[in-house]
Chain A
Amino acid sequence: DQQVKQNSPSLSVQEGRISILNCDYTNSMFDYFLWYKKYPAEGPTFLISISSIKDKNEDGRFTVFLNKSAKHLSLHIVPSQPGDSAVYFCAASQKYSGAGSYQLTFGKGTKLSVIP
């Protein structure tokens, strides 16, 4: 039972264009969402997050949009750069989960390739 889904295993984008990575979730108790970027043989690196009380959060070239009614979020990268090529993971957290652990539930990731 996958509670966080990233339905596109891969995405190719031309340098300078917009990259849009999508994520869907099924658990309506999730109230905090995060995007991580991962290079091979490294740990995930935190990129940007959004609370369920917001519908948009922006940080430089990265913007995350949250549509709670659709249980959908997306990460926009503008403009895309070759160094953005990596696997991007969507993750969700439940504020009160068991003992309040804030464990993250991850999607399977989308591999982004930015073509020079």
Chain B
Amino acid sequence: NAGVMQNPRHLVRRRGQEARLRCSPMKGHSHVYWYRQLPEEGLKFMVYLQKENIIDESGMPKERFSAEFPKEGPSILRIQQVVRGDSAAYFCASSPRTDSSYEQYFGPGTRLTVT
């Protein structure tokens, strides 16, 4: 059973460009979470999605950031007009979200560097 897949693993963008990060959840998982980790910090929640629905985006910056989880294909986190402060590791997690399972399983992350 393959784990959570994220690509690319490393992404370099110049200021003002767009960054697109992809996440494929574990097989059988229909719930996807995105987290961001700044250097020397813990992971911070950004957004929670189910297929075709954004359930909770309370951790998402109001501008330039968007996320989707289409019916077919991976979940996408999009950052428009990137700035240096967007440089971080972005982790995706998936969960089966049954009544007995709250655990979230994380992918390897995408390390975004904005130059």
- Chain A interface residues toward B at CB < 8 A: 4, 32, 34, 36, 41-46, 49, 89, 91, 93, 97-109
CA distance A34 to B107 in the complex (A): 17
CA distance A27 to B5 in the complex (A): 32
Q: Judge whether B102 and A49 touch: CB under 8 Å.
A: yes
Chain B residues with Cβ below 8 Å from A109 are 42
Taking CB atoms and an 8 Å cut-off, the chain B residues in 25-67 that contact chain A are 33, 35, 40-45, 48, 55-56, 58-59
Number of interface residues of B (CB under 8 A): 28
Q: Judge whether A102 and B42 touch: CB under 8 Å.
A: no
CA distance A34 to B104 in the complex (A): 10
Q: Judge whether B42 and A108 touch: CB under 8 Å.
A: yes
Taking CB atoms and an 8 Å cut-off, the chain B residues in 88-115 that contact chain A are 91, 93, 95, 97, 102-109, 111
CA distance A102 to B58 in the complex (A): 12
- Least Cβ–Cβ distance between B102 and chain A, in angstroms: 5
Q: Which of B4, B102, B105, B107 contacts A102 (CB 8 A)?
A: B102
Assess A103 versus B33: contact at CB under 8 Å? Given A44-B91, A108-B40: yes
- Least Cβ–Cβ distance between A94 and chain B, in angstroms: 11
Assess A104 versus B45: contact at CB under 8 Å? Given A43-B106, A98-B58: yes
- Least Cβ–Cβ distance between A112 and chain B, in angstroms: 15
A–B pairs, 14, beta carbons within 8 Å: A4-B42, A32-B102, A34-B103, A36-B106, A43-B108, A46-B106, A89-B42, A89-B43, A104-B45, A104-B93, A104-B104, A106-B44, A108-B41, A109-B42
Chain A residues with Cβ below 8 Å from B58 are 98, 101, 103
Residue of A nearest to B102 (CB): A32
Chain A residues with Cβ below 8 Å from B45 are 103-105
Assess A46 versus B104: contact at CB under 8 Å? Given A101-B48, A108-B41, A109-B42: yes
Chain B residues with Cβ below 8 Å from A49 are 102-103
Residue of B nearest to A109 (CB): B42
Chain B residues with Cβ below 8 Å from A108 are 40-42
